[in-house]
Amino acid sequence: MKKIFTAIIIGVIFLSSSLAAYAQMSSESLTASKALSIAQNARTQYWSALNGYDIKSNKTCFQKTFTYKKTEYRYLCKEFNTKKKLVNYLNKVFTQNAIEKGLKDYRFIKYKGKLAQPVGDGGSALNWNKAKGKVIYKKKGVRLFEFSVPNEETEKTVKVKVTFVNVKNKWLINALDSVR
């Protein structure tokens, strides 16, 4: 009976240390292809936020406009019409700090109970589907990647630096506008 108990204890210790090592390894490893995949998802979320609706769903909504302090604003669509909804959507690939700074920088406001932003056109000629990346800085929990992204209009390649931060074993981007 003692041998069985000892074997079970050794197995539990081995399993827990293996899981801890795996969790540490997976949280620290961020390959260029994984970073690019996160950046591509972040780009979709960035442009969805700036357009006021989820561009991946390929549907738009009627966005009512209004003037506030001499600036024309538009309400965001139902899926993003509160700060909580938009933050939850963006937090899949962006840090909380990146989101808060981005909402401030892009002048999102709450007006008559709904989230709104200044009217502007959105789009980018950068083709992230053809981007290539490499890590240029590596520290525990932080990675800086440099992506070479083709510009469809100028036919030149643009160097874009994106900082990734490990938050609760998940790699998130630390600046909302780094993937535009």
Task: Tell whether the torsion through CA atoms of 14, 138, 131 and 52 is positive or negative.
Answer: positive
pLDDT at 28: 62
Where in the chain are the domains? 1-29, 31-179
Pair 35, 143: CB distance under 8 Å:
yes
Would the pLDDT of 157 be above 70?
yes
CATH architecture of the domain 31-179 equals Roll (3.10)
Q: For residue 106, is it left (φ>0), alpha (ψ between -120 and 50) or beta?
A: alpha
What are 67's strand-pairing partners?
A: 72
The total number of residues shown for the chain amounts to 180
- C-alpha 137/C-alpha 34 separation (Å) is 16
Instruction: Tell me the per-residue pLDDT of 50-90, one tens digit each, with 9 for 90 and over.
Output: 989 998 886 778 889 999 999 999 999 999 999 999 999 99
Residue pLDDT, tens place only, 118-156: 998 667 889 999 999 999 999 999 999 999 999 999 889
How confident is the model over 25-34, as pLDDT tens digits?
344 689 999 9
Q: Are 161 and 170 in contact (CB under 8 A)?
A: no
Distance (Å, whole) CA 63 – CA 45: 18
**CB-CB neighbours of 39 under 10 Å:** 23
Is a pLDDT exceeding 60 seen at residue 108?
yes
Do 54 and 76 meet the contact criterion of CB atoms below 8 Å apart?
A: no
